[in-house]
């Protein structure tokens, strides 16, 4: 594991705007993520979180502002494992797109199976895996591409509460080992605080950065930390800002009718 080496962001958005048709979605977003940092983005539903991801991933261009980011590996909300392929062959898809030889791609992915709790399931089909195992396979498919930045879009949103908690703990453990640079979207404030170095709160649409909160809690974080006064204070601050933005969005919708 390596520590953050520099304060220079590896992902850097400055005054980014984006409009679709006559609907302004982003209105001057400033967001930076340093190497090795875990940053979560939260905000009211429909505020533009996924639009930011699309711009960072290079899938879309901003209307104005500047964006600096390396080639990223993107994990979408659904695992999107192909049912006709083995788990191992699902995890090599990103490498195959990069034209890595199949034998080499399978070897690289297979090395990670024990750490991802998937040893022995290389030749299984996705329907034979639990929800948590499918998400670990999807994350393995993402990280094996060896990109500088991981974009995680609600990675545990479809899981039940217990499995989700287990996956949060597991992700923290493997992140501390590999210290990937992570930018994650989530609607779960507690998840954001538990996993992140910083939590960025977006305003209602058109989105700006409403708050950027440092999570100054020691690592590794045990599950018991969620009841500590420090954790609860951060969580309360974030929830209050989210509620303010949600109320503002509702008021604007009412006035527009």
For residues 89-100, average pLDDT: 94
- The whole-angstrom separation of Cα 216 and Cα 228 is 13
Place of tokens 């494992």: 81
Domain ranges across the chain: 1-71+148-257, 79-147
In the predicted model, what is the mean pLDDT of the chain? Answer: 92
Of all residues in the chain, what percent carry a pLDDT higher than 90?
79
Q: What is the pLDDT of residue 125?
A: 97
Residues 106-147 pLDDT 10s: 999 999 999 999 999 999 999 999 999 999 999 999 999 989
Task: Give the E-state strand segments of 173-239 in sequence order.
Answer: 181-185, 198-202, 209-214
Cβ–Cβ < 8 Å for 126, 87: yes
Q: What is the CATH number of domain 1-71+148-257?
A: 3.40.50.300
pLDDT at res. 78: 84
What confidence tens digit (pLDDT) does each residue in 181-202 have? 999 999 999 999 999 999 999 9
Note the pLDDT of residue 25.
94
Does residue 43 carry a pLDDT above 50?
yes
62: confidence class by pLDDT, cuts 50, 70, 90: very high
Give the model confidence (pLDDT) of 9-18 as tens digits. 999 999 999 9
Torsion (CA) 233, 238, 240, 246 in degrees, nearest 10: -170
pTM: 0.91
Inter-axis angle of helices 161-178 and 131-143, to 10 degrees?
Answer: 30
């Amino acid at each position: 594991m390596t520590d953050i080496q520099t304060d220079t962001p590896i992902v850097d958005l400055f005054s980014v705007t984006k409009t679709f048709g006559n609907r302004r979605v982003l209105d001057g977003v400033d967001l930076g993520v340093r190497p090795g940092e875990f940053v979560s983005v939260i905000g009211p539903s429909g505020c533009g979180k996924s639009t930011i991801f699309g711009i960072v991933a290079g899938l879309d261009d901003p209307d104005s502002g500047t964006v600096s980011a390396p080639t990223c590996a993107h994990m979408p909300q659904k695992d999107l494992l192909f049912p006709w392929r083995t788990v191992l062959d699902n995890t090599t898809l990103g490498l195959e797109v990069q034209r890595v030889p199949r034998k080499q791609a399978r070897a690289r992915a297979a090395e990670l199976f024990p750490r991802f709790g998937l040893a022995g399931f290389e030749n299984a089909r996705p329907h034979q895996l639990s929800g948590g195992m499918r998400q670990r396979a999807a994350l393995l498919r993402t990280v094996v591409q060896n990109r500088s930045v991981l974009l995680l879009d609600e990675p545990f949103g479809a899981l039940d509460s217990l499995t989700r908690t287990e996956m949060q703990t597991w992700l923290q453990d493997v992140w501390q080992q590999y210290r990937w640079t992570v930018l994650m979207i989530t609607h779960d404030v507690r998840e954001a605080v538990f996993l992140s170095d910083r939590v960025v709160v977006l305003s209602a649409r058109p989105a700006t950065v409403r708050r950027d909160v440092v999570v100054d809690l020691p690592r590794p974080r045990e599950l018991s930390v969620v009841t500590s006064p420090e954790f609860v204070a951060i969580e309360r601050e974030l929830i209050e800002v989210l509620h303010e933005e949600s109320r503002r969005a509702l008021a604007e919708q009412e006035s527009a009718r």
